[in-house]
Structure 1
Amino acid sequence: MELGVGMFGDNHYANGKPLPVGKRVQELIEEIKLMDELGLDFYGIGEHHRPDYAVSVPEIILAAAASVTKNIKLGSAVTVLSSADPVRVYQQFATIDQLSNGRAEITAGRGSFIESFPVYGYNLNDYDALFEEKLELLQKINNENPITWKGKFRAALNKQEILPRAVNDQLNIWVAVGGTPESVVRAGKAGLPVIFAIIGGSPVQFQPLFQYYRDVYKHFKHDETKFQVGVHMHCFFGEDSKQVADDYYPYYSAQMDRVGRSRGWPAYQRNQFDFGRSKEGALIIADANEAVDKILQMQELFGLTRFSAHMDVGGPSHAALMKSIEIYGTKIAPKVREALKK
């Protein structure tokens, strides 16, 4: 099972207002460099178009990270493919792949936030149809060159070369899903690896969807040796479980409330946070030993090949994030890997 980090580049706040993004994006590069030095397997950065997130173009962050890392895979988490041009997406990530000697990958999603649609001039009424068509085109570009293609939302391509190409002529493409059967069927039919975002409730509730994905994948007779499935969960690590929870809660709850205000959610409560940290919950905000146990629990529950720790929700301090990454790389990852060898 690969162990890595997913981030959204949550911005820092002062007096209730977001700070300029320059400091946060510079910190991200330092954080990715540390992940690479500690031997974590992959890093993903999200795309958002809101003041509470510092990154709207993951490709720029990943290109910068490629120049200061050696081994870690670098990808999006996610690319909002519905409001992007698949040709440009492939070219950007193929360029990162060349910069990084073959370490780039794409995680495509429909987007749980919708701000990119008006920014790039797309109609939300086409939310599902856009994603289906663009995922099909991205896969075709990844598998063929030159390409001939025709769709509804984009100009046709006729024997068009798409350049540059990835190092091995193909990029790894994952699909991120939030928990709908329709998304699972789409990914399974295409034979693409899936990463499930489990950020609330009880993870055990997702078990039927994982099994459904396996069933669809097998039904379409895809190569089972290439089967990959991952999970993305909110995490934060410290030396003492209670202390890290108490220190992190103000950042976490503030961001839940910022998002919640735009979606009509009630104010986030400490009892939600505490349930999430329990054995039945979806948060891994803990010391190293508790984190190891819960990550292994997720692997046993779902048969994971990838675990992504999303650890910058709410924009905690750079120092706290560096400490969390250090604990993940030096105390958690080695124990998880050793346990999985047995």
Structure 2
Amino acid sequence: MEIGISTFLESTPDPKTGQVISHAERLRNAVEEIVLADQVGLDVYGIGEHHRADYAGTAPAVVLAAAAAMTKRIRLTSAVTVLSSDDPVRVYQSFSTLDGISNGRAEIMAGRGSFIESFPLFGYSLDDYDELFEEKLELLLAIRKSEKVTWPGSRHRPAIRNLGVYPRSVQDPLPVWIASGGNPESAVRAGTLGLPIAFAIIGGMPERFAPLVNLYKQAAAQAGHDPSKLQIATHSHGFVGETTDQAADLFFPSTQAQMNVIGRERGWPPYTRDAFDAARTLRGALYVGDPEFVAEKILLLRKNLGVTRFFLHVNVGTMPHRELLRAIELLGTRVAPIVRKELARQGAQE
């Protein structure tokens, strides 16, 4: 089981001081985080694409490439690439370039995007939300399959007639994941295509995603793919501290501030400490606590959903950089070893 970090490169007001970290500083901090994650043995680091003032991650491949030459083992992925509002040729070229720099550690996590700022920014209509993703995913998969590409075109994208797309990736094929917030159609699409899937679980109980996992595997089997060989990831908010109480007290202020910003945009009720504390119980969607508790929650996730990869999304809102680095260190040096040891023990008993 792989364990890693995901982030949107938050650049929001500090809930205690009101100061706002610059986008430039947040980007430099991200490179430091990736290098540390590699050093402490984490498996993957993902950056989400957003186009708004409170996030600095408009170009995940560029940030990941900055860290690629400074790292040795960690896999580098978008989390996600908003494929619907991008050009699949450029997406492939950016990540195949990253793949070359990292010597085969790049991945694309493709999604439709839960934030919609990129659509008007790049001249797309939200009326075409689903159609855009389906067409562009088809083209992206065609590009990664063949050096020379022929594409009939559509009302969203001109035709391509036997043209080469370069550079080619080191990995053949370049890994492409489907990212989903829990849409059954996304699970069926990923399974039918035989692509790995990542579920964003930021509320409720993770075990409630079991029917979606089953749907994904059923679709894969019906399409002739071996479900046992497919990868399943989840992404959830969380934070690792020296103690569970310390982790909760450090993580809550920034989480509350950012969740309330998003909540006002989407009509959610105010985010309270009671809601936060309920979500960080053993069966909740917040992975907040000391290393032993977070490891226990990850192992429960593995048991209930059979996941092969877990992303801890930290931070939500702005936290002091030193605290974020310590959480990454604890995830790599204390949480991951517990999970790996227990899964190895279970495997030995089977």
Q: Which amino acid aligns with 2:21?
A: L
Deviations 1:24-55 (A, max 9, x none): 11111111000001111111001011111111
Distance 1:248 1:43 in 2: 20
Distance 1:9 1:218 in 2: 37
Distance 2:193 2:20 in 1: 40
Q: Which amino acid aligns with 2:112?
A: R
Superposition deviation, residue 294 in structure 1: 0.3
189-198 vs 262-271, which moves further? 262-271
Of 176, 199, 218, which residue of structure 1 is paired with 2:202?
A: 199
TM-score by length of 1: 0.98
Structure 1 vs Structure 2: percent identity of aligned residues? 51
Matched, 1:284 2:300: no
Matched, 1:330 2:328: no
1:256 aligns with: 259
TM-score by length of 2: 0.95
2:47 aligns with: 45
Contact 1:240/1:286 (8 A) holds in 2: yes
1:6 aligns with: 6
Matched, 1:137 2:144: no
Q: Which amino acid aligns with 1:314?
A: G
Matched, 1:306 2:309: yes
Aligned to 1:312, what secondary structure does the other structure show? coil
Deviations 1:287-335 (A, max 9, x none): 0010110000000001111111111111211101011011001100011
Alignment RMSD (CA, Å): 1.2
Aligned to 1:268, what secondary structure does the other structure show? coil
Query: Unaligned stretches of 5+ in structure 1?
Result: none
2:193 aligns with: 190
Q: Which amino acid aligns with 1:92?
A: S
Q: Which amino acid aligns with 2:92?
A: Y
Matched, 1:147 2:152: no
1:273 aligns with: 276
Of 127, 130, 134, which residue of structure 2 is paired with 1:128?
A: 130
Superposition deviation, residue 225 in structure 1: 5.2
Contact 2:201/2:234 (8 A) holds in 1: yes
Matched, 1:214 2:217: yes
Q: Which amino acid aligns with 1:263?
A: R
Contact 2:283/2:297 (8 A) holds in 1: no
Contact 1:66/1:96 (8 A) holds in 2: yes
Of 223, 240, 243, which residue of structure 2 is paired with 1:240?
A: 243
Matched, 1:156 2:162: no
Superposition deviation, residue 12 in structure 1: 4.2
Aligned to 2:42, what secondary structure does the other structure show? coil
Contact 1:18/1:51 (8 A) holds in 2: no
Deviations 1:232-272 (A, max 9, x none): 11110000101210121111000101111111212111111
Distance 1:263 1:224 in 2: 36
The runs of 4+ residues in structure 1 deviating greater than 4 Å are 14-17
Distance 2:240 2:332 in 1: 11
Of 75, 78, 81, which residue of structure 1 is paired with 2:83?
A: 81
1:90 aligns with: 92
Of 106, 109, 113, which residue of structure 1 is paired with 2:108?
A: 106
Distance 2:141 2:18 in 1: 42
Distance 1:176 1:161 in 2: 27
